[in-house]
Amino acid sequence: MADSLLIIEDEKLLAAELARYFRKQGWEVELADSMDQARRKLVEQGFDPLVTLADMTLPDGNSLDLMETVRQQGRTGEWILLTGYGGVPESVRALRLGAYDFLEKPCNIDRLGTVLNGARRSARAQRQLRDQREAGGRRYLPEAFVGRSEAAQEVRRLLIRLAEVPFSALIITGETGTGKGLVARILHHSGSRADGPMIEVNCAALPRNLLESELFGHEAGAFTGAKGRHRGYLEQADGGTLFLDEIGEMDLDLQAKLLTAIEDRILRRLGGEKPLKVDVQVVAASNRDLERQVREGGFRSDLYHRLSVFRLDLPALRDRLDDLEDLLPPMVAEFNAAAGRHVKVVSDQIYRKMRRYEWPGNVRELRNAVERAVLLADGDVFPEHWLQLGDALSRASSGPEIDGNRLIIPLDGSMALDEMDSYIIQTALEKTGYNVTACARALGTTRETLRYRIQKYKLRTAAPEPGSQAVAQ
Ligand SMILES: Nc1ncnc2c1ncn2[C@@H]1O[C@H](COP(=O)(O)OP(=O)(O)OP(=O)(O)O)[C@@H](O)[C@H]1O
Ligand SMILES: [Mg+2]
């Protein structure tokens, strides 16, 4: 789409000449010959030009007033103002309102073209930023926590409720990869502090002393090496959210200082006397069993109780396998787009394999598995070969098992009915030495039924020859 340019100019000949010139340069030009007409286009019809080139004084008013209105609506887009007599107070006002440039008439049209190109670049960059910001906000709505299971729905319900409550502290627990970071971002971006900053700190990544000065800040000379004054993360998060990841790794006396900051809403920089007021919402996360850590003296119980007034426990993926069907398609689409692949078909067999797996790394592990498979896919089918889930961790206990003359069949959706049927018959065949009569007796059925099913499932009717690949016939 061509970049749009609005020219507000009452001198008809000049307006026509400018329009012709800039259309030739690839702009999509709209004209307005009065304030009133321009206002109708911009305010009433919602026309949103990338650049506006406006004569400052028009018979029915001043363009700067219109620019001010449009700016107050939070619109982006650059303004270039043309003036006949370049009054200094007006140029000051134009600059204060954030006009891109201010030119005196008459001005050389090529020079105007150069200025316009600069304004185009600047306006495009602003729009890109705005779009990214909007997309970022949408990405972190409660719906971003995907899943149809009751457990996932409950998480979303809590997120929606919490977005309405001005809480000062909250804790998210859950195994690695269950979405603690995602949930922390949703809490910030869908709550009342969305316009404030969100600062993330990983407590495990910094040694104790550094963590303290990073969190609370320091005055110049507070300790060896403390050169200038430093604002800590708590101060930086003022008016917004401080996300303390892996809080279980935080030192005990630092925990005490943190509690004071949360309860009294004040902090002192290291080496500083003056108490500073801060207004911070603290979201903490941990994949450790904090209650146990409290019992064993590794975590302060007062801080734990303060944080767990509001608490979100994220379920492990293995406990909500139904969510695989919601999680997988958007991930496939994402990696298709990122890598120019076209995977469309995910077979039932893939889903069954995934349901049989323990997912120790939860959703993160799923993302990694999907990424690998999509990147290595040839056509439009999700390649089973590249799924490569850690075999050792498969749900051995819930897969089918033989126990003497009994079979144990899982009823957790990991085997389809036909698979159970074929597994039972194949196992009975093996146990009866591939004697169809004996096998039919063992299964309480007729030989005809059995033969039919052997064909249907293409089962083995003889022991595989040693060293050869077992081929179903
Ligand atoms: N319910 C979900 N819906 C969609 N994406 C999810 C969900 N849960 C997690 N993810 C995605 O899985 C990945 C891992 O999540 P995240 O980093 O939030 O996990 P975590 O609990 O913070 O893990 P760790 O304890 O290792 O830090 C991220 O890409 C996240 O967006
Ligand atoms: Mg995390």
Per DSSP, the three-state class of 279 is coil
Residue 174 banded pLDDT, cuts 50, 70, 90 = very high
Q: Which of 145-154, 213-222, 385-394 has the lowest mean pLDDT?
A: 385-394
Q: Best substitution site from 363, 368, 370 to test ligand 1's pocket, by max atoms within 8 Å of Cβ?
A: 363
What confidence tens digit (pLDDT) does each residue in 175-191 have?
Answer: 999 999 999 999 999 99
Compare 339 and 238 and report the one with higher pLDDT.
238
Nearest ligand to the CA of 362 is 1
Whether 362 lines ligand 1, by a CB cut-off of 6 Å, is no
Compare 440 and 84 and report the one with higher pLDDT.
440
**How high does pLDDT run on average in the chain?**
87
Closest protein CA for atom 13 of ligand 1: 364
- CA–centroid distance, 319 to ligand 1, in Å, is 15
- CA–centroid distance, 315 to ligand 2, in Å, is 14
Nearest ligand to the CA of 183 is 1
Contact (Cβ atoms closer than 8 angstroms) between residue 292 and residue 304:
no
Residue 57 tokens, joined: 């004084």
What confidence tens digit (pLDDT) does each residue in 22-75 have?
Answer: 999 999 999 999 999 999 999 888 889 999 999 988 999 999 999 998 888 778
Between CA 112 and CA 82 the distance in angstroms is 10
Between CA 282 and CA 289 the distance in angstroms is 19
Write down the pLDDT at residue 469. Answer: 42
Kindly give the interhelix angle for 252-264 and 208-216, rounded to the nearest 10 degrees: 10
Percent of the chain with pLDDT over 90: 50
Between CA 389 and CA 396 the distance in angstroms is 13
- CA–centroid distance, 413 to ligand 1, in Å, is 24
Picking from 195, 270, 170, the residue whose alpha carbon sits closest to that of residue 225 is 270
Whether 185 lines ligand 1, by a CB cut-off of 6 Å, is no
pLDDT over threshold 60, residue 85:
yes
Whether 172 lines ligand 1, by a CB cut-off of 6 Å, is no
Between CA 41 and CA 38 the distance in angstroms is 5
Q: Is 428 exposed, middle or buried (0-12, 13-18, 19+ CB in 10 A)?
A: buried
pLDDT over threshold 50, residue 125:
yes
Between CA 286 and CA 175 the distance in angstroms is 8
Percent of the chain with pLDDT over 70: 92
- Residue 314 CA: nearest ligand 1 atom is 21
Nearest ligand to the CA of 314 is 1
Write down the pLDDT at residue 468. Answer: 45
Residue 144 banded pLDDT, cuts 50, 70, 90 = very high
- Strand segments (E) across 33-158: 51-55, 57-58, 61-62, 78-83, 101-104
Residue 86 banded pLDDT, cuts 50, 70, 90 = low
Contact (Cβ atoms closer than 8 angstroms) between residue 314 and residue 174:
yes
> Mean pLDDT over residues 78-87, rounded?
81
Picking from 94, 81, 91, 80, the residue whose alpha carbon sits closest to that of residue 123 is 80
What confidence tens digit (pLDDT) does each residue in 238-287 have?
Answer: 999 999 999 999 999 999 999 999 999 998 888 888 888 999 999 999 98
